[in-house]
Each structure stands twice: as structure tokens, then as C-alpha cells.
Amino acid sequence: MKIRQNPLRITLTFIGAMLLCGALIFSFLFPIFLDWPWDFRQYIIIFLWIISSIVFYIISILYNFYIVESKCIIVHRFKKVLYYYFNDIVYIDKQYSEKHKMILFVTNKKDVRYLVFDSKKLVYETMLEKCHNLLTYEQLIAKYGEIKNLRVPKKEKY
């Protein structure tokens, strides 16, 4: 089953990246924009920036998705394809995942991975349902030792 990532999240991320790239481009070309009145050079630069932003946005919407199969989740990121088998996932941080709308999980190779939620949380719920080798945080640290880039979950208050 093919599942698209949350388009709002992609849009917000892309707007931030587009503004950052625009700021870099215009800061390098700042002397060109000081010439007044503007000629075709300034308009060409703005036109190319807008067109390239639109093209990259469409590509990011079309080529970022998940495929859920019986034994794994396949993540497509542009041309890159990643396979995460349910049997290889040993820890899912539920607190972090639900708070940040991003699945944080650890594989049996000590890799910490993040996946953005889809709009209906299907990937997250499927992972919780089909990952049978899940450990608690304490069991994970006892079995695999310290893992880089893994946050310590907060204790729940009762």
C-alpha cells in the first residue's frame, strides 16, 4: 500500500528551505539588485528562482512516499529507496513520535532513524503492530549499550 507523507509538513519544510536558498542566492547577487532601474538580469534571477522552487516542490511531493508491505516498510526519498524490516526494529520512542509527529526508531544495527508521519498515522500504527522485537529503553541500553543520537525519554508523571 502506497502512503504519501503529510503534504502540509512537506510544504512547511519546503517553504523554509526555499526562503533559505533564496536568501543565499540574493545575498551573493546583492550588487546586481542595487542597480536601479532593474533590467532583464534581476527579473531573470527572480524568475529562475521561482520556477526552480516550484519544480523542486512538485518533485518532493511526488517522489517522497512510503510503501507498507507484510515484512517491511519501503521509504522512497526521490531516487533513494530504503528498506526497514519489522524484525530489525528494536525500539520505537512513542513519546517523541507522538509529540513531534515523527517516528523515532532504532534498528538492531544501532541506527537511529526518523520518519515523518503520514496524514493518518498509518505507518506509525503499522510499525507498532508488526514490530514484535520491541524493547523498552532500559532493555535497549542494557542489550546494545549507548547509542549515538538517541534521546533519553522523560519519565511520565502520574
37-88: pLDDT as tens digits:
878 888 898 899 889 889 988 888 888 899 999 999 999 988 899 999 999 9
Residue 67 domain flag: no
Contact assessment for residue 45 and residue 29, using Cβ atoms and an 8 Å cutoff = yes
Does 69 fall in a domain? Answer: no
| Spatial strand order in the sheet of 112-116 | 89-92, 102-107, 112-116
Question: Is residue 71 included in any domain, yes or no?
Answer: no
Q: What is the mean pLDDT of residues 16-35?
A: 86
- Does 78 map to a domain? no
pLDDT of residue 141: 86
Does some domain include residue 138?
yes
Give residue 32's pLDDT band: very low, low, confident or very high (50, 70, 90).
confident
Average pLDDT of the residues in 82-111: 91
The closest alpha carbon to 73, from 130, 119, 30, 137, belongs to 130
Residues 57, 9: one domain?
Answer: yes
Closest CA to 115 of 14, 25, 4, 1: 4
Domain, as residue range, for 51: 2-62
* φ, ψ of residue 37 in degrees (nearest 5): -75, 155
Structure confidence at residue 84 (pLDDT)? 94
Is residue 156 domain-resident? no
Rounded Cα distance between 59 and 127, Å, is 27
Is residue 42 in a domain? yes
* Closest listed residue to residue 93, CA positions, set 151, 48, 52, 145: 151
Shared domain for 91 and 139, answered yes or no, is yes
Total domains present in the chain: 2
